[in-house]
Amino acid sequence: MSATLEHSAAATAPAPAAAAEPVTMAGALNAAMADALANDPRVLVFGEDVGTLGGVFRVTDGLAARFGDDRVFDTPLAEAGIVGTAIGMAMNGLVPVVEMQFDAFAYPAFEQITSHLAKLRNRTRGRVSLPIVVRVPYGGGIGGVEHHCDSSEAYYAHTPGLRVVTPCTPGDAYHLLRQAIACPDPVIFLEPKRRYWSKEAVPAAAAAAIDQAVVRRPGQDVTLIAYGGMLATALETAAAATGEGWDVEVVDLRSLSPFDDATVAASVRRTGRAVVVHEASGFAGYGAEVAARLTERCFHYLEAPILRVTGFDIPYPPPSLEQHHLPSVDRILDAIARLQWDDHA
Amino acid sequence: MTTSPTIAERAAATLPPSASPLGLIDADGQPIDSPVLDLPPDDVLRELYRLMVVGRRVDAQATALTRQGKLAVYPSAHGQEACQVGAVLALREQDWLFPTYRDTMAVLTRRVDPAEALSLLRGEWHCGYDPYERRVAPQCTPLATSTLHAVGVAHAARVKQVDQAALVLLGDGATSEGDTHEALNFAGVWRAPVIFFVQNNGYAISVPLSKQTAAPALAYKGVGYGVRSLLIDGNDAAAVYAAVKSALAHASAGQGPTLIEALTYRVEAHTNADDAARYRDDAEVAAWLARDPLARLETCLRARGLLGDADVAGFGAEAEQCAAGLREAMSGEMNVEPADLFAHVYAGPTQTLAAEQEFLLAELAQTATTEGSPS
């Protein structure tokens, strides 16, 4: 075991053992952890209920039985404790992959994440590396009660030193998690709960590097920028928009921090119009950063102001009302319609 | 017919601290028989004394350097020498130390270079030393967060099956923070080889212990987590050393963590920016000065024939030499490089940070050109 914790920054994950059959996102994440555990004895998986139960979403199902209680285990119910002890384990040569049970239940770990996980490399001038993955099931759309549906990405993305990534498909979930585990930086790995049971075959190779955005659907007229749970809604919108005569390009950010300016700006320069979509509240939200960066870089290419379609600036609603809060296909189509098409014509 | 012990009987047999603080040398330098702690060997007693003499002098020098503007801030450990030297000297080479901002003396006892150790308080960089070189974590300024890191390091040692322990230093105020409780709980459940060493110096900046806890002693906080707990005289270096040695043996044998509460006193104010006269009186300070950790060990060593005038003079000269070295080191140029701001945020450069670094360096080059150009 290496005490220096040197990883190759360019490390790429090998292909999963069985890629041909469609798997759920939960299954793909499970396979990614299983392959990482099998390939690297330093990897540990722990958190609340992740052992015997296999996690409340069953994402760690069977891992404790296969790899033993020393490598996959339940912790006491304390999130700061989970992240804080993971930091110590990483300092002592291990590679922890920890689970926060739900988005809003990760907040007790906030100090450990922002003051220590994010800063220890910087504090020690690069001598201490923390290759830790914090998995956080996030977002709504599942009928969850209070505190089970937050989109907390902006808190993490605002913190220098953290990588923040989120997959939108089972295939990307597998590869992005392998990339996150291989990454020498701490990674906040946001799992869109509403996509846990979506299915597809896992491709043999990753769609892109850990810090790159991907064009999921090419188009000419407007760029829809989305990530995580909203990507599927963006793709649905793009399909519906063809009926309105718009050829929509959909960009999947994947990496919320660092931000892939090159890929996203290139798309917006091509189309001249952009809409950013996310579930989280709009005020001081992640979309504001995206819109500002694109305005700074693409102003002379823009035919219309960049619009945002986000959740309202309210605490996450109860299940009976969440459909009014979440960005919908119609709401995104309406935003596209407001992109000053008449001026252009 | 025997009955199995009750929960209370089982707990009482293994966990709670003693009714009064354990000690080996009293405030007057007289030996105390202890059924729990073993008096350290003669050479260790002498070494404890030597390091405390040096530590106190260096601490005073750092305070003086702060008044001269050479350090940004310095939280003195004057009065806590027995804790900082005794606990660290007990560690083995392979063990980890997790110090706080007040534990510079502990860091130096671990043989970290003084200039590197004071980098944080000088305002040069957040941590000036390589934590892996002496297995000393960066001095922690948030309270109690490092207790969890220490438990993690200790648990990793168990996973890797190496005989290694972690010693985390914390103060009385930090025992009120949630992380301390999570750390004690995790350590208890995992039987992690970790030692929680609470320097109870009476105050969290200005707030006295009576406003911090209703517990009869902080050491009792271990009991609820199934963690063996010791209450000791923190101004008795021999007791501190022996308690940490005992905790290490406990950890090394796979029996898990120990919480040690060491009763001591912060003789100086919280930092140079604090005014202790606002919350405590001179009589209280005087009473604690009469329990001085150095004086009692000197009396003890002299009585045992382990220390003479020549030794005292020699240690004093060595302390002066260390203070002079510190003055010289803190008068030198700081190791500061603007590009370092961006170099260690991530393992490699990012597009954004590369652009920001370029911006700053161009701004600096522009400033240099302007300042260098003839008017």
Residue A6 pLDDT > 60: no
Residues of A in contact with B126 (CB under 8 A): 119, 122-124
The one-character DSSP state at A227 is -
The Cα B74–Cα B101 span in angstroms is: 8
- Interchain pair B166, A87: CB under 8 A: no
Residues with Cβ within 8 Å of residue B375, at least 6 apart in sequence? none
The Cα A279–Cα B256 span in angstroms is: 45
Catalytic annotation, pick one of A148, A175, A278, A325: A148
DSSP 3-state percent helix, strand, coil across chain A (nearest 5): 40, 20, 40
Of the candidates B49, B51, B50, B79, the one whose C-alpha atom is nearest the C-alpha of residue B63 is B79
User: Which pLDDT score, from 0 to 100, does residue A181 have?
Assistant: 98
Residues of B in contact with A94 (CB under 8 A): 156, 159-160
DSSP string covering A161-189? T-EEE---SHHHHHHHHHHHHH-SS-EEE
Mean pLDDT over the full length of chain A: 94
Task: Confirm whether the ipTM is greater than 0.90.
Answer: yes
Catalytic annotation, pick one of B279, B280, B302, B304: B279
User: Which pLDDT score, from 0 to 100, does residue B373 have?
Assistant: 63
Distances, alpha carbon A278 to alpha carbons A213, A266, A326, B56, B250, in Å: 15, 21, 8, 58, 53
Q: Mean pLDDT of residues grouped by 10 in chain B (375 residues)?
A: 76 86 97 94 98 97 95 96 98 98 97 94 96 98 97 97 98 97 98 98 94 96 96 98 98 97 95 91 95 97 97 98 95 91 97 96 92 64
Q: Are A83 and A105 in contact (CB under 8 A)?
A: no
Of the candidates B205, B260, B203, B259, the one whose C-alpha atom is nearest the C-alpha of residue B236 is B260
Of B96, B160, B179, Cβ closest to residue A84: B179
Residue A16 pLDDT > 60: no
**Percent of chain A beyond pLDDT 90?**
93
User: Which pLDDT score, from 0 to 100, does residue B10 have?
Assistant: 78
Residues of A in contact with B138 (CB under 8 A): 120, 123-124, 128
What is the chain B residue with the closest CA to A125?
B344
Query: For residue B32, what are its two tokens?
Result: 């105390």
pTM of the model: 0.95
Mean pLDDT of A56-61: 96
The Cα A182–Cα A190 span in angstroms is: 16
The C-alpha of A89 sits at a distance from chain B's nearest C-alpha, in angstroms, of: 5
User: Which pLDDT score, from 0 to 100, does residue B1 have?
Assistant: 53
Q: What is the pLDDT of residues A233-287, one digit of tens each?
A: 999 999 999 999 999 999 999 999 999 999 999 999 999 999 999 999 999 999 9
Residues with Cβ within 8 Å of residue B19, at least 6 apart in sequence? none
User: Which pLDDT score, from 0 to 100, does residue A47 have?
Assistant: 98
Instruction: With cut-offs at 50, 70 and 90, classify the pLDDT of residue A343.
Output: low
N-terminal to C-terminal alpha carbon distance within chain A: 64
* CA B367 from centroid of its chain's CA atoms: 43
